[in-house]
């Protein structure tokens, strides 16, 4: 059953990718207009079917696979090492969504910190009002930047793009439920660049997920697409998109390799969290410094 769902999804993905945008002309014949409208309608229906199927398939999990269990002390250690603007790259074993996503790391997240963290770096109401270009943007930025908790009560300190759209979420909850690998990189930004990065990221909250992985369209975003936009717009980044299943994208592995091989001055390595020796109910390990950097180098070579 699972393999059948994957095949159907890949067929829909190919069908959606083959739909080409129609360039406008000054004078379009009536027949062509009708044809273009029909193509757009079919395209929208394919995309809708693709997104619904992906949402269903992505949540399927192999029950024999388990996450790494980090102790409360390790979770606090990880959080204490982070700063607003940090880029988190992760992998969770067992989910069907991994079939569609290349590389060792599958997901990208932006750490925004607590409300106090945001205010400490100057991401306050006065600054956010200056960044907004429309009244509705002002309301949205103020609402999201001042969100303290997610619906289940945990601290809202990360922004990620998932199948349901771009959302505020909790790093602690993620570490308790969804992590087998976690790498943290820090953009080498000035304080102003970090504020711009985070305000731009906040503006994407509640926008839809990009099931086509079309990095030329900012109206929808997948997880690493969001990071790509907010880093390239605000810093000395020159990412090279790679072709994956007919799409030009930036994968989580691409971001790590950019730090390791292309521009280590643009991203600073902070930590690698992964499976370690078992200690009671916990089996996580947190590696920092040169030891952690060497471990991630070895991991990316495998």
Mean pLDDT score of the chain, rounded to an integer? 86
Q: What is the pLDDT of residue 244?
A: 81
| Span 70-123, pLDDT tens digits | 999 999 999 999 999 999 999 998 666 666 677 899 999 999 999 999 999 999
The span from the CA of 252 to the CA of 171, in Å, is 18
Q: What is the pLDDT of residue 279?
A: 86
The span from the CA of 99 to the CA of 55, in Å, is 13
Q: Which residue has the higher pLDDT, 283 or 302?
A: 283
Question: How far apart, in Å, are the Cα atoms of 175 and each of 29, 211, 259, 299?
Answer: 57, 25, 23, 20
39-53, 162-176, 228-242, 259-273: least confident range: 39-53
pLDDT of 221 > 90? The answer is yes
Q: What is the mean pLDDT of residues 5-25?
A: 43
Enclosing H/E stretch for 187: strand 181-187
Q: Which residue has the higher pLDDT, 284 or 47?
A: 284
8 Å CB contact between 16 and 212: yes
67, 68, 73, 78 alpha-carbon torsion, rounded to 10°: -90
The span from the CA of 103 to the CA of 108, in Å, is 12
Partnered with residue 168 across adjacent β-strands are: 159
Q: What is the pLDDT of residue 30?
A: 61
What pTM was computed for the model?
0.84
Give the position of tokens 């619906």. Answer: 151
The span from the CA of 183 to the CA of 176, in Å, is 16
Q: What is the pLDDT of residue 50?
A: 65
Between strands 242-244 and 158-162, the pairing is unpaired
Q: What is the pLDDT of residue 90?
A: 97
Identify the CATH class of 72-301.
Answer: alpha beta
Handedness of CA 271, 273, 274, 276 (dihedral sign): positive
pLDDT of 205 > 50? The answer is yes
| Span 114-153, pLDDT tens digits | 999 999 999 999 999 999 988 889 999 999 999 999 999 9
Q: What is the pLDDT of residue 24?
A: 42
Domain ranges of the chain: 2-58, 72-301
The span from the CA of 55 to the CA of 58, in Å, is 5
């Amino acid at each position: 059953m699972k393999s059948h769902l994957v095949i159907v999804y890949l067929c829909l993905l190919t069908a959606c990718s083959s739909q080409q945008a129609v360039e406008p002309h000054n004078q379009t014949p009536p027949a062509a207009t009708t044809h273009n409208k029909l193509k757009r309608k079919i395209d929208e229906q394919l995309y809708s079917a693709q997104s619904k199927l992906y949402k269903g398939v992505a949540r399927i999990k192999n029950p024999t696979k388990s996450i790494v269990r980090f102790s409360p002390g390790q979770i606090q250690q990880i959080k204490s090492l982070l700063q607003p603007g940090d880029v988190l790259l992760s992998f969770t074993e067992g989910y069907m969504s991994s079939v569609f996503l290349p590389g060792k790391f599958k997901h990208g997240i932006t750490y925004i910190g607590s409300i106090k963290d945001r205010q400490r770096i100057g991401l306050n109401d006065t600054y956010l009002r200056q960044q907004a270009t429309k009244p509705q943007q002002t309301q949205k930025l103020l609402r999201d930047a001042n969100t303290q908790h997610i619906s289940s009560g945990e601290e809202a300190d990360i922004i990620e793009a998932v199948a349901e759209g771009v959302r505020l979420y909790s790093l602690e909850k993620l570490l308790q439920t969804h992590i087998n690998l976690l790498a943290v990189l820090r953009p080498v930004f000035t304080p102003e660049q970090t504020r711009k990065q985070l305000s731009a990221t906040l503006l994407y909250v509640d926008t839809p997920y990009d099931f086509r992985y079309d990095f030329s369209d900012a109206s929808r975003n997948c997880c690493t697409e969001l990071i790509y936009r907010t880093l390239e717009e605000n810093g000395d980044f020159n990412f090279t998109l790679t072709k994956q299943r007919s799409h030009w994208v930036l994968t989580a592995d691409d971001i790590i390799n950019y730090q390791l091989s292309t521009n280590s001055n643009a991203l600073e390595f902070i930590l690698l969290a992964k499976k370690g020796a078992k200690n009671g109910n916990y089996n996580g390990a947190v590696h920092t410094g040169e030891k952690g950097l060497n471990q991630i180098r070895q991991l990316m070579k495998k």
